[in-house]
Structure 1
Amino acid sequence: MRVGIVGCTGAVGEELVKVLGERQDRLGGVTQLKLLASAKSAGKVMDAGVFGPLTVEEFSIDKVKKLDVVFLAVSGSFSLKYAHEIAKSGPVVIDNSSAFRNDPEIPLVIPEINGHTAKNAKLIANPNCTTAIAAMALWPLHQKFGIRSLIMSTYQAASGAGAEGMAELEAQTRAHVKGSAPEVSVFQYPLAFNVIPHVDSFQPNGYTREEMKVVWETRKIFGVPDMDVSCTAVRIPTLRAHAEALTIQTWAPCSVEKAKALIDEAVGVQLVDDPSSNKYPMPINATAKFDVEAGRVRQSIVFGDFGLDLFVCGDQLLRGAALNAVLIAEFLHEDKFEKPSGYKPTVLQRFMGASLSGPALWFTVGAVAATAAAATSFLTADSKPTSSSA
Structure 2
Amino acid sequence: MQASTPVYRHHLPLTRISSSSCRRVSSASRWRSTVRMGLKEDGPSLAVVGVTGAVGQEFLQVLSDRDFPYRSIRMLASLRSAGRHLTFEGREYEIEELVPESFAGVDIALFSAGGSVSREMAPAAVQRGAVVVDNSSAFRMDPNVPLIIPEVNPDAMAHITLKKKGKEGWLIANPNCSTIICLMAATPLHRHAKVVRMVVSTYQAASGAGAAAMEELELQTREVLDGKQPTCKIFKQQYAFNLFSHNAPVLSNGYNEEEMKLVKETRKIWNDKDVKVTATCIRVPVMRAHAESVNLQFERPLDEDTARQILKEAAGLVVVDYRASNLFPTPLEVSNKDDVAVGRIRQDLSQEGNHGLEIFVCGDQIRKGAALNAVQIAEKLL
Partner of 2:8: none
Please give the residue correspondences for 1:77-116 in structure 2 after superposition, counting only pairs within 5 Å.
77-116=116-155
1:10 aligns with 2:53: yes
Give the secondary-structure state (helix, strand or coil) at the position aligned to 1:279: coil
Distance in 2 between the 1:76 and 1:243 partners? 24
1:209 to 247, 257, 261: 257
1:118 Cα deviation from its structure 2 partner: 1.4
1:283 Cα deviation from its structure 2 partner: 0.3
Alignment TM-score, normalising by the size of structure 2:
0.85
1:58 aligns with 2:106: no
Give the secondary-structure state (helix, strand or coil) at the position aligned to 1:40: helix
> CA contact under 8 A between 1:24 and 1:30: conserved in structure 2?
no
1:290 aligns with 2:290: no
> CA contact under 8 A between 2:195 and 2:299: conserved in structure 1?
yes
Partner of 1:19: 62
2:315 to 261, 267, 270: 267
Letter in 2 for 1:308: L
Aligned length: 329
1:314 aligns with 2:353: no
Distance in 2 between the 1:65 and 1:312 partners? 41
Partner of 1:230: 278
1:181 Cα deviation from its structure 2 partner: 0.2
1:51 Cα deviation from its structure 2 partner: 4.9
Give the secondary-structure state (helix, strand or coil) at the position aligned to 1:176: helix
Instruction: Encode CA deviations 1:2-46: one digit per residue, 9 max, x unaligned.
Output: 111010000000000000011134xxx222111100110011111
> CA contact under 8 A between 2:99 and 2:121: conserved in structure 1?
no
1:190 to 226, 230, 238: 238
1:295 Cα deviation from its structure 2 partner: 0.4
Instruction: Encode CA deviations 1:192-244: one digit per residue, 9 max, x unaligned.
Output: 00001133110000000000000000111111111100000000001000000
Distance in 2 between the 1:45 and 1:176 partners? 35
> CA contact under 8 A between 1:199 and 1:233: conserved in structure 2?
no
Give the secondary-structure state (helix, strand or coil) at the position aligned to 2:282: strand
1:172 to 220, 226, 244: 220
Letter in 2 for 1:4: A
Give the secondary-structure state (helix, strand or coil) at the position aligned to 1:276: coil
Letter in 1 for 2:47: G
Instruction: Encode CA deviations 1:256-296: one digit per residue, 9 max, x unaligned.
Output: 00000000000001011112123210000010000000000
Letter in 2 for 1:257: D
> CA contact under 8 A between 1:67 and 1:90: conserved in structure 2?
yes
Distance in 2 between the 1:116 and 1:199 partners? 34
Structure with the larger helix share = 1
1:86 Cα deviation from its structure 2 partner: 0.8
Distance in 2 between the 1:280 and 1:84 partners? 43
Give the secondary-structure state (helix, strand or coil) at the position aligned to 1:181: coil
Cα distance change on mapping 1:174 and 1:253 into 2, 3 Å: same
Larger Rg: 1
Distance in 2 between the 1:272 and 1:199 partners? 30
2:296 to 248, 251, 273: 248
1:61 Cα deviation from its structure 2 partner: 2.2
1:58 Cα deviation from its structure 2 partner: 0.9
Cα distance change on mapping 1:137 and 1:51 into 2, 3 Å: farther
Give the secondary-structure state (helix, strand or coil) at the position aligned to 2:242: coil
> CA contact under 8 A between 1:189 and 1:196: conserved in structure 2?
no
Letter in 2 for 1:84: P
Distance in 2 between the 1:185 and 1:232 partners? 24
Partner of 1:160: 208
Distance in 1 between the 2:172 and 2:296 partners? 28
1:183 Cα deviation from its structure 2 partner: 1.2
Letter in 1 for 2:58: E
Letter in 2 for 1:117: A
Distance in 2 between the 1:295 and 1:51 partners? 40
Distance in 2 between the 1:37 and 1:120 partners? 30
Structure 2 unaligned residues grouped into runs of 5+: 1-43, 161-169
Partner of 2:76: 36
> CA contact under 8 A between 2:204 and 2:289: conserved in structure 1?
yes
The root-mean-square deviation of aligned C-alpha atoms, in Å, is 1.0
Distance in 1 between the 2:302 and 2:176 partners? 28
Alignment TM-score, normalising by the size of structure 1:
0.83
Partner of 2:372: 323
1:47 Cα deviation from its structure 2 partner: 2.8
Partner of 1:132: 180
Structure 1 unaligned residues grouped into runs of 5+: 334-390
> CA contact under 8 A between 1:154 and 1:233: conserved in structure 2?
yes
Distance in 2 between the 1:13 and 1:51 partners? 18
